[in-house]
Structure 1
Amino acid sequence: MERVALVTGGSRGIGRATARLLAQEGYRVAINYRQDHAAAASLVAEIVAAGGTAQAFAADIAEEAQVMALFAAVDAAFGPLTALVNNAGILFQQARIEELDATRINRVLATNVTGAFLCCREAVKRMALRHGGRGGAIVNVSSAAARLGAPGEYVDYAASKGALDTLTTGLSLEVAAEGIRVNGVRPGFIYTEMHADGGEPGRVDRVKAQLPMRRGGQPEEVAAAISWLLSDAASYVTGSFLDLAGGK
């Protein structure tokens, strides 16, 4: 069976490393991005130059119509989806709760929670045996913040990832008999561009001495965990979480 993977938020960071690795492993990779077309296009070019198959697809997963159009476009380009990596996520400037407003909170939840729900919904419609699918695997990219709370920095982001963990657990049970496995990874303190979105590009270097492993992680380390959870080697694993936070 042809393996087709959709990686949301695939133009940078963990998503980029995951798309690259899955292409190396023989997946036809759909790389979703919201606005950085140049970054997505450069990744596609890199994968194709290495002998892989990839295509970039623009969509804001916080918008239901765009999610539906995204999945339809992937269907047309690559055929039946077999793997979904729900990686797209946003956070904003570090802030205490007194500084948060509804606009920020709702934007975080729209992307990190509603967007993930919508992508899971569309994937299940295509993968589930009850819908004529052939099964598949979903990996939701959560965060160590779901366990730690991110006090004084991103409580809204942490709460959104806690919701994503609950989605992972519930959905894994809902579709286990339909040939779909659903698992999560919880990275923490990884060297990605996301820390700059929060106003502190050097955050990992600031906190790494407090971690049991005394170092930050690399996106490729998270990608390897995602790849394993999608693979046949994890065929009896569902509803599970892999923490990648240096022991924190």
Structure 2
Amino acid sequence: MNAATRADLRRPDGTPVRALVVDDEPTLAELLSMALRYEGWDVRSAGDGLGAVKQGREFRPDVVVLDVMLPDIDGFEVLRRLRADSPDVPVLFLTARDAVEDRVAGITAGGDDYVTKPFSLEEVVARLRGLLRRAAVATAVRGDATLTVGDLTLDEDSHEVARAGAPVELTATEFELLRFLMRNPRRVLSKAQILDRVWNYDFGGQSNIVELYISYLRKKIDAGRAPMIHTVRGAGYVLKPAAG
């Protein structure tokens, strides 16, 4: 989705949308969670049905991504229990089988939509945004699109970036990289995660492109100042407020 034209979705009280991701494949659950955090949403995940029900009761999500096949109770039973507490929560089913009976079962059970594995992260995000709008649990807002980490600010609408009030000029790719880092402050992001979200797999494992653009950002963000962008050896990169 075009970063310059995308409107954030927020709850009516202005807080981030809450999403619950339920899948027993840890890598897939993490990719989905990262994609939704990139949207600015508050995300929790569960790897089995009972954990999902517990998270649903504690977290009160606005939308749920729910795998049909889980190791304990199936997604249909999870949906039934979630709806007992939150009758109107929108649910997007994930199914590994593109069979008519699965789709019918999911919708009959009360699911609002479904996608079949394998799917694109962009498709899932688009479907969820549609469900939220239809359920009127979130509204599109502009004018509240500023990310702030320490003395670093980034306006997602105007694409203006400043460090301690001083403007920082970035290219489009540098902006997207910084935005991803700022949406995940204090979180170590691997090169693979950065490639996935900023370059959309186009560079197929060429992690040196990440190192190159991190160096570009450091020259513009950290030059002459206390550093905010840090390398975690063997793990990736993290952005956090400058010390001191």
Which of 1 and 2 has greater Rg?
2
More strand by percentage: 2
More helix by share: 1
More RCO (CA 8 Å, sep 6+): 1
Same-fold status (TM-score > 0.5): no
